[in-house]
Structure 1
Amino acid sequence: MDALLILGGLLLILVGLVWLVMLAFGTSLLWGLGSLLPPLTLVYVLRYWRTARKAVVLSALGFIPLVVGLTLLANQDAQRLEAILSLSWLKPETQAPAELVIHLRGELNGQPFAPQQGELIDGSLSLREGQDFFARREISIRLPQPVNGAVRVDVLPQDRGSLPEVQVSWLLPEQELPEARRLTHGYTLHLDLKPLAPNKLVGDFHLVLPPQFKTTLSGKVELFSNRLRYVDGKVDARFDSRDTLAYVIEDYLKRRFTTRLVQLASLPAVTLPAAIVELEIDAQVNGQPQHLPLRLKKSQSRGWEVQGDHFSPLPAESVAIVGSRQATVGSPMPASEQAGRPLDRRLRFTLPRLQSSPSRYQNLSMRIVTERGSMAEGRFTGINPDGRIVIRRNLSGQGEASFAVRPEEIKTIELLEP
């Protein structure tokens, strides 16, 4: 209603002004030309009031619905009104600088492919185009085993054995879930990636799939090796990710217990974005197990921080310690803890097992293929009251999104982590 009133008022004002100009041209050509300039328009109205008053009254009537509409808009959405009056909508949109430099030539499924996101984490390489839960187009390459440091992979169509699994997916406008195709052999792949501080891999990427897939890509890529983001060489605590929370918690524990010998266990499931997160974490501090409830909050200026954190920074490290430290997110746990871990849960994983014991698979990465051939991949967060399998996926800077699938629609479901 407020928009209609505003538009109606502006239309009446515009019609009144056009009518006024037409009356001025009817008086004389000079007055008509002069009425196109606001100061002379006012002179014409004062000089020929009897002729111009009808047009002036019509324009004046237009201010009534205009003011009423603006008042309603101010009561309902003050920020929108402020944006309209500030004319910010006239300014061209400023594109944020890209986080990654990716230059690929070629196509995916016969369409140009211009990924904005890329990562190689836990042996899984992903190049995504689009910011939504499901990418418009995506390439995923799962390496036989996780890598640390430089990556060199060469695969030819005739190769067999333990090869990377390549998956391409695309989402058409009329589809709810993307279509996906997987290959375990018969393709050409070349990866030559070198580490780039603080958390990137940079190098050559070359992929050629069989002709029926219409996918050929070649060029330079830049990939994140974890889900931390850096500003001026320091971790950006404002970025929403589990890795950011883990970094903040680990830093807090080091300062709280005045030691750098801190190893954080895997965090519980977290829903992001959020303003406050409450967690119960397990960690090894100086070789001693610690179980702590923590409350983290996020501020616009400083980002994530542990509530009640008033501990001072640790003293500067010596050169020897700096050279030997390997305090990265996701570092392996001690052998004593690894020995106590359960067996690989992928061995006997089935949909009925997931439905009967969902807590056992909480926050693990899964891949679902529906009866219609669509594919969804993300981390399992639980089963909702309707009995649907709920998974979530990180959106690279825009938080996380969730997707629910009915069990009867599932053709295959795979657990991708032990």
Structure 2
Amino acid sequence: MDALLILSGLLLMLFGLVWLIMLAFGSSLFWGLGSLFPPLTLVYVVRHWRIARKAVVLSALGTIPLVVGFVLLAGNDPARFEAIASLRWLTPAPIKPNELAMELHGQLNGEPFAPQQGELIDGVLSLREGQEFFAQRAVNIHLPPMPNGSVHLNVLPTDAQPLPEVEISWLLPEHDLPEARRLNHGYTLYLDLQPLAPNKMTGDFHLVLPAQFNTTLSGKIELFTNRLRYIDGKVDAHFDSRDTLSYVLEDYLQRRYASRAVRLGKLPAVSFPASSLEVEVEALVNGQPQSLTLLLSKTEALGWVVQGDQYARFAEPAVASPAPAPSVSSATTTPPVRSTVDRRLRFSLERLQRTPEQYSNLLIRVTTAHGSTAQGRFVGVNANGRIVIRREISGPGEASYILRPDEISQIELLEP
């Protein structure tokens, strides 16, 4: 009803304005052309009030349903009214920076290929250009299982099958569905990808298909390994994905049952975008099956949350810091202290300096500004504010690295 009143008011005002211009042209060509400019329109109304008053009254009548419609809208949907009144819809949406560092060059099906999205999930490497449901251009490679976190693959045209299946697809302007081509031999593929915390892989990518496919790609790529997104080391609960919902639900169940021993089952299919979802959840809690129906809602401040969640968060256990080890000693290595909290998600050099006791005796890797790498167990921060890392050496004893924070270019926590 409110939208209908607003629309009718705007139409009355528009008809009144058009009628006023027609009346001005009826008076003279000069007044007709002048009425197209607002200042001269007012002059015409004043000078020819007897003629123009009918159109002015019609426009004035349009303000009545317009005001009533806005009043009803403010009462029924304050958020929508605020969005209209604030004129935010006039401001163009900011262009989001690319989440992935792609330096890929070449062409796909004879056209330049600049992917904005990349994933390596469930053994499928996917590169996509375009934000729509069907990608403008895309490459999908079904990779074999890899023994560890890194991916290294070198395929030549003469290699015997079975080989990874490569699929390329492109969407023509006049078509609704993309065209696709698949091949499982006769191509060149080189992959050298390394894990990048918290949920990415990065490295070299080189793909050359047979000449008839007109596809050659080479450069560095960055891929997500799941559909979680992170901001400052924390999971972004605003991102729409089933992985985000799984993370939110698992965190909720752990706090609800006061136990970390929660294994969430596969979630049912959900549709995005959405502001609320009802989800049937199957989970094992302390080895016992649990079946729940939970309602999730998405808020601007917190992202996806479980409605009615009032359970306290787990406190991270503090770990006592051992005495700093000497540069070379024969002391027995203290076994690493294990924590049930995965501290890799929020790890940074600043956090390490602020709360060193939380990372005591955990395995870390440091890269210096000169390109050197030091890996060992974190001992602590000495009196001079330097990072002390203990490394076992062959034979009796151990060695320590003592590094200034300003000479550290990258630091990684390798254990949870």
TM range (shorter): 0.5 to 0.7
In structure 2, the gaps of 5 or more residues are: 320-335, 346-416
Structure 1 residue identity aligned to 2:229 = R
Range that drifts further, 14-23 or 166-175: 14-23
Residue-pair matches, total: 316
Equivalents in 2 of 1:57, 1:152: separation in Å?
A: 80
| 1:92 correspondence with 2:92 | yes
Deviations 1:12-32 (A, max 9, x none): 4156258659969969xxxx9
Range that drifts further, 87-96 or 140-149: 87-96
Deviations 1:169-207 (A, max 9, x none): 223355454322111111122222222221111222222
- Could you state the TM-score of these two structures normalised by the residue count of structure 2? 0.62
Q: Conserved in 2, the CA contact under 8 Å of 1:107 and 1:113?
A: yes
Equivalents in 2 of 1:9, 1:256: separation in Å?
A: 58
Q: Shift of residue 248 of structure 1?
A: 2.8
In structure 1, the gaps of 5 or more residues are: 329-418
Equivalents in 2 of 1:146, 1:306: separation in Å?
A: 40
Query: Which residue number in structure 2 is paired with residue 321 of structure 1?
Result: 338
Structure 2 residue identity aligned to 1:222 = E
Query: Which residue number in structure 1 is paired with residue 20 of structure 2?
Result: 16
Q: Shift of residue 68 of structure 1?
A: 4.8
Structure 1 residue identity aligned to 2:14 = L
State the SS of the aligned residue for 1:244.
helix
State the SS of the aligned residue for 1:94.
coil
Structure 1 residue identity aligned to 2:54 = V
Q: Conserved in 2, the CA contact under 8 Å of 1:21 and 1:36?
A: no
State the SS of the aligned residue for 1:105.
strand
Q: Conserved in 2, the CA contact under 8 Å of 1:134 and 1:171?
A: yes
Q: Shift of residue 3 of structure 1?
A: 5.4
Change (3 A) 1:26 1:178: closer
Q: Which is bigger in relative contact order (C-alpha 8 A, separation at least 6)?
A: 1
Query: Which residue number in structure 2 is paired with residue 232 of structure 1?
Result: 232
Query: Which residue number in structure 1 is paired with residue 271 of structure 2?
Result: 272
Q: Conserved in 1, the CA contact under 8 Å of 2:104 and 2:221?
A: yes
Q: Cα RMSD between the aligned structures?
A: 4.1
Equivalents in 2 of 1:81, 1:180: separation in Å?
A: 46
Q: Shift of residue 142 of structure 1?
A: 0.8
Q: Conserved in 2, the CA contact under 8 Å of 1:108 and 1:216?
A: yes
Query: Which residue number in structure 1 is paired with residue 50 of structure 2?
Result: 53
Change (3 A) 1:100 1:41: same
Query: Which residue number in structure 2 is paired with residue 140 of structure 1?
Result: 140
- Could you state the TM-score of these two structures normalised by the residue count of structure 1? 0.61
Q: Conserved in 2, the CA contact under 8 Å of 1:123 and 1:144?
A: yes
Deviations 1:267-318 (A, max 9, x none): 2423234523333423263xxx221123242240332337555244144264
Query: Which residue number in structure 2 is paired with residue 197 of structure 1?
Result: 197
Deviations 1:222-281 (A, max 9, x none): 211111111221112233323223323433444445454x25254242323452333342
Counting only pairs closer than 5 Å after superposition, residues 34-183 of structure 1 correspond to structure 2 as 38=39, 46=46, 48=47, 51-64=48-61, 68=65, 86-146=86-146, 148-183=148-183
Structure 1 residue identity aligned to 2:223 = L
Q: Shift of residue 108 of structure 1?
A: 1.9
Equivalents in 1 of 2:269, 2:35: separation in Å?
A: 68
Q: Conserved in 2, the CA contact under 8 Å of 1:17 and 1:59?
A: no
Deviations 1:43-79 (A, max 9, x none): 6755x4xx45313433443444575578679879978
Counting only pairs closer than 5 Å after superposition, residues 375-390 of structure 1 correspond to structure 2 as none
Change (3 A) 1:282 1:223: same
Change (3 A) 1:21 1:250: same
Change (3 A) 1:265 1:73: closer
